[in-house]
Chains A and B, each alone.
Chain A
Amino acid sequence: MVVCQLKRTFATMNVFNYFFAGLSDISISEDIPVEGDISMPVGSQNADNDFSTLDEPVKDTILRDLRAVGQKFVHVMYPKKSSALLRDWDLWGPLLLCVTLALMLQGGSVDSEEDGRPQFAEVFVIIWFGSVIITLNSKLLGGTISFFQSLCVLGYCILPLTVAMIVCRIVLLGGSGLVSFVVRLIVVTASFSWSTFASTAFLADSQPPNRKALVVYPVFLFYFVIGWMILTFSPSH
């Protein structure tokens, strides 16, 4: 009986926690440091207000978004328990990373021998479709994270793999022998495990505890496939 009452109170408290957590829609546990921009842009209703973003120079608008994206990049490179990625989710960073990766991975159409390489559209579809499937999977297993937050986390955690792609291209400029292959293998393996670890650090809290392995495994598979595409990238002469 007492347990019943306690459970009910706890559940109600959690409901209030959500209603009063502002417009964001995740649960923030108490021991995670909260950071980020508290002031929210007011919008066009108060057009004559000083804080309206309509009158500011374009440079400010773009720099603010770029700063937010850059801040999230820093969070990915040094993953610690933080809710900044989840609370202020945006899809600009994932789009930027996905386009960069797909541009670097795509096969050229002029060279007929390159038709084994993935096309731009294939890489793009794999990344976004894969993210959507993993998000659906985690929601079906009972995760509390919202759809776009999960897409945001998965997209941002592609950053180490993009860095590895750039490194691989530079290494391939020096030759494509065994040494360069070993170097590329090490770089890609390190970045793929970094990606998986970073995304697990952000996503782990929102899953039921006895299903964490079921949610982490598809993320592992996703980054493994992307890492494989990077590793088998062969340059065009």
Chain B
Amino acid sequence: MANTDFHLQFQEFEDEQGFTEHNQGATTVTIDDPIKSRKQRKATGTAFEEDDNDDKTEIFISSKGLLSGQRKSAPFWTFEYYQTLFDVDSHQVKNRIIGSILPWPGKNFVEVYLRSNPDLYGPFWICATLVFAIAVSGNISSFLVNQGQPEFRYVPDFSKVTMAATAIYSYAWLVPLALWGFLTWRNRKITSLVSYSFLQIVCVYGYSLSIYIPAVILWIIPSEGLRWCSIVVALCLSGSVLVMTFWPAIRDDKPRITIVIISTIVILHVLLAVGCKACFFSTYEMDPSKDHNEPSAATNTSSSTKPK
């Protein structure tokens, strides 16, 4: 058995030597014909390929599973470096999204799903989807709330998109930055077995926002009870994934610091959800007679959701 494994590995190694541009990590699924696609890219003349032979050799040496977690040794100003950050397949993205929605006690998101292959595809496009989902759902819900009033004319509020984008993208990038800085600083004092890189933390936060997309779509239905219910469920699921991910990194620390970090993570998560709901989704007015008597109040409610 060991002999066969060695033989297989040796064959793979030789295969790689024939094509020096192969840079697949040991744990990821190989793409169909990466050599062909790379040669095509070379011939098409993309701008970043001048001296990437050395880079590719570096990637080749470090990516055959001998050095775990050291895949990205291409310099960060080349295009290939960013390509390694998008080295995921459709089924991998699907598994990561499912893993971030369903917390399994004992399964650490980073260990099970990321495995030294953090990607930026998931965080970026999940945040983009969430931004547009919030904008669309907010407009639909304000339209439904004010429906049936003859004086009210529906005006789509385009500025919601920019506000939502700023809020969500800063949450998805600044909070991991702060958390990573804090964890690195604590790691100097207390050596912990587990330490996460910045991209892994960004990845975890990005995928943890994916539960909010169905929740935001549910917020279209103008019922306060349903909205709060969906917020609580989404918070529990994604909050527990976050907590279980970061618990191994900080459990060796002083208990007071541990509690502070965990509660900060949870509180920021809650603030994002509640803030989005408050800013973009006006409260539902249950009294129809009041609406008819005060049409100006209705337009005031909708205009209060616009930024000042």
Contact = CB atoms under 8 A, between A and B. Distances in A.
A232 interface: yes
Contact of B156 (A143, A218, A234): A234
Contacts of B44: 18, 25-26, 144, 146
A214 B93 contact: yes
Contact of A208 (B37, B39, B153): B37
B125 interface: yes
Contacts of A19: 43
Where chain A touches its partner, the secondary structure class is helix
Interface size band for B? 35 or more
Contacts of A211: 31, 88-90
Nearest to A237: B153
A5 to B, nearest CB: 9
Interface in A120-175: 122, 137, 139-144, 146-147
B90 A11 contact: no
A233 B15 CA distance: 57
Contacts of A217: 125
Interface size band for A? 35 or more
Interface stretch (B128-136, B176-184, B257-265): B128-136
Contact of A14 (B14, B36, B125, B154): B36
A64 B261 CA distance: 66
A224 B19 CA distance: 41
B91 A210 contact: yes
Contacts of B155: 113-117, 234
A116 B157 contact: yes
Contact of B36 (A10, A214, A233, A234): A10
A67 interface: no
A225 interface: yes
A10 B91 CA distance: 28
Given A11-B35, A142-B37, A225-B132, A214 B82 contact: no
Nearest to A3: B15
B31 A221 contact: no
A234 B154 contact: yes
A69 B41 CA distance: 27
B40 interface: yes
B155 to A, nearest CB: 4
A220 to B, nearest CB: 10
A140 B154 contact: no
Nearest to B158: A118
B90 A212 contact: yes
Contacts of B93: 214
A210 B136 CA distance: 30
B34 interface: yes
A202 B43 CA distance: 20
Interface in B209-223: none
A62 interface: no
A133 to B, nearest CB: 8
A211 B88 CA distance: 8
A32 B130 CA distance: 38
Given A210-B32, A211-B89, A214-B88, A137 B156 contact: no
Contact of B121 (A25, A137, A209, A221): A137
A140 B82 contact: yes
Contacts of B31: 142, 208, 210-211
B108 interface: no
Max chain B C-beta neighbours (<10 A), residue from A8, A229, A232:
A232
Given A8-B18, A210-B29, A14 B40 contact: yes
Given A15-B42, A116-B159, 18 more contacts: A11-B36, A11-B39, A116-B155, A116-B156, A116-B306, A139-B46, A142-B83, A142-B86, A144-B41, A208-B34, A210-B31, A210-B32, A211-B89, A221-B132, A228-B136, A232-B156, A234-B153, A234-B156
Interface of B: 14-15, 18-19, 29, 31-32, 34-37, 39-46, 82-83, 85-86, 88-91, 93, 121, 125, 128-129, 132, 136, 139, 153-159, 306
Interface of A: 4, 7-8, 10-11, 14-15, 18-19, 25-27, 113-118, 122, 137, 139-144, 146-147, 208-214, 217-218, 221, 224-225, 228-229, 232-234
27 contacts: A4-B14, A4-B18, A7-B18, A7-B19, A7-B35, A14-B39, A15-B39, A18-B43, A19-B43, A25-B43, A27-B40, A114-B155, A116-B157, A116-B158, A116-B159, A137-B86, A140-B86, A140-B121, A143-B37, A208-B31, A210-B89, A210-B90, A211-B31, A211-B89, A214-B93, A218-B125, A232-B154
Leading 8 A-B pairs by shortest Cβ distance: A18-B43, A116-B155, A232-B156, A140-B86, A213-B90, A25-B44, A210-B89, A144-B40
